[in-house]
Amino acid sequence: MMSARIPELTAFTAPVEQPVANRDLVSARDFSPEETQALYQVTHIIKHRPADFRGALAGKQLVLFFEKASLRTRLTFESGMASLGGTSLFVDQTQSRLGLREPVKDIARNVERWVHGVVLRTYEHSTITEMADNAGIPVINALSDLEHPCQAYADFFTLQEKFGDLRQVHTAYVGDGNNVAHSLMLVAAALGTSIAVATPEGYEPDAEIVATAKKIARTTGSIIDITNDPKRAVTGANAIYTDVWASMGQEAEAEERKKIFAPYQVNNELFSLAAPEAFFMHCLPAHRGEEVTADVMDSPCSIVFDQAENRMHVQKAILLMLLGSGMSRPIRSNHA
Ligand code: CP
Ligand code: NVA
């Protein structure tokens, strides 16, 4: 019997020289204005021709580590990945934060050898940056205490569907200067659309993020207005957006925040100051009777479920852009 020819061992052991195409989405500032426009073009095609992308990520695997609860983000990533032909693995971290059992950098150095991308929902934003710094595969922020970029991309995509040219649109965000507000400002700046953020004193958005958003805005024509006056923010607005007053991890402050944020409730009186046919927006979950009244939340002007639907289309485009290049991580030794 003829023996099969055994290839040179070096063919299996030599390091592979590869360009590193690895890109992360840790912050909404990670995509340039041009890349944000490209993301929306891809999203539009994926949304309207989903069958064309059924095998686009075949053979790719995504791991999701979530320290906090989720309905929309988890299901849209899992469903989106499946509809692209890929697989996702969910790791419930709600009982034990990442980094407690072993350092985040060691988790990164493990998972990069098994899967093609990591999606993280965390308390500390630094958990996501540490994963991104140490994993040679794309890392995606699925919400941290600082940012929620996937949400903001879906939200402005939704407004683009409604209005067409976002440069003519003014959005007002009313409530806590939180993770959602931060990513909305950064995406608005990238898209050249204007946003006013109205918060109580002491709950303003992060100064460094505001400065970054304003810097980007100067190049795109966007106007970013930070105020404590909800009426000023919403007057003439084409969309009024709010979020919960106490985010995940702030439950102990919820009662105190209800009093502080009461003047920032989105109700019919506040809504009457907006432009005719303005939309109501919310990332969900919503608390009717707190940050928004039921009549606004459930009115025909509410587009909250369009936003939720677009989470999936935008995230499919993000997955395609970050995982679909066909380039894998550089092979490195144990100590590299
Ligand atoms: N909006 C949003 O991120 O929803 P989940 O918390 O349910 O994922
Ligand atoms: N700001 C909220 C958003 C939830 C999607 C939170 O962090 O809990």
**Is 29 among the catalytic positions?**
no
Angstrom distance (rounded) from CA 293 to CA 306: 19
Q: How far is the CA of 70 from the centre of ligand 2 (A)?
A: 9
Q: How many CB atoms lie within 10 A of CB 326?
A: 7
Angle at 96 between CA 332 and CA 86, to 5 degrees: 50
**Residue to mutate (ligand 1; options 283, 306, 312; most atoms within 8 A of CB):** 283
Q: Is the CB of residue 281 below 6 angstroms from any atom belonging to ligand 2?
A: no
pLDDT band of residue 128 (cuts 50, 70, 90) is very high
Residue 284: HSE in the Cβ half-sphere, 13 Å Cα cutoff: 19
pLDDT value at position 2? 47
Query: Tokens 């395609």 correspond to what residue?
Result: 320
User: Which region holds residue 325: left if phi is over 0, alpha if psi is between -120 and 50, else beta?
Assistant: alpha
**Is 311 among the catalytic positions?**
yes
pLDDT value at position 117? 97
pLDDT value at position 325? 64
Q: How many CB atoms lie within 10 A of CB 109?
A: 16
Q: Is the CB of residue 283 below 6 angstroms from any atom belonging to ligand 1?
A: yes
- Which architecture does CATH list for 151-309? 3-Layer(aba) Sandwich (3.40)
Q: Is the CB of residue 171 below 6 angstroms from any atom belonging to ligand 2?
A: no
Angstrom distance (rounded) from CA 85 to CA 107: 25
DSSP string, 306-335: HHHHHHHHHHHHHHHHHHTT---PPP--TT
Mean pLDDT of the chain: 92
| Ligand found nearest the CA of 284 | 1
Q: Is the CB of residue 273 below 6 angstroms from any atom belonging to ligand 2?
A: no
Cβ-contact 293, 266 below 8 angstroms: yes
- pLDDT, tens digit (0-9, with 9 covering 90-100), for 57-82: 999 999 999 999 999 999 999 999 99
pLDDT value at position 5? 54
- pLDDT, tens digit (0-9, with 9 covering 90-100), for 161-175: 999 999 999 999 999
**Is 243 among the catalytic positions?**
yes
Model confidence at 55: pLDDT above 70: yes
Alpha carbon nearest to ligand 2 atom 7, residue: 247
| Ligand found nearest the CA of 147 | 2
Alpha carbon nearest to ligand 1 atom 3, residue: 73
pLDDT value at position 186? 98
DSSP letter assigned to residue 64:
E
Give the residue-averaged pLDDT of 276-294: 98
Model confidence at 45: pLDDT above 90: yes
pLDDT band of residue 335 (cuts 50, 70, 90) is low
- pLDDT, tens digit (0-9, with 9 covering 90-100), for 292-301: 999 999 999 9
Q: Is 228 exposed, middle or buried (0-12, 13-18, 19+ CB in 10 A)?
A: middle
**Is 97 among the catalytic positions?**
no
Q: How far is the CA of 120 from the centre of ligand 1 (A)?
A: 13
**Residue to mutate (ligand 2; options 179, 183, 203, 281; most atoms within 8 A of CB):** 179
Cβ-contact 290, 245 below 8 angstroms: yes
Query: Domain 28-147+311-323's class?
Result: alpha beta
- pLDDT, tens digit (0-9, with 9 covering 90-100), for 231-251: 999 999 999 999 999 999 999
DSSP letter assigned to residue 288:
B
Angstrom distance (rounded) from CA 67 to CA 326: 30
Q: Where in the chain is the domain with CATH 3.40.50.1370?
A: 28-147+311-323, 151-309
Distance of CA 170 to the CA centre of its chain: 21
- Which residue in 121, 125, 257, 313 is the catalytic one? 121
- pLDDT, tens digit (0-9, with 9 covering 90-100), for 12-24: 444 433 333 469 9
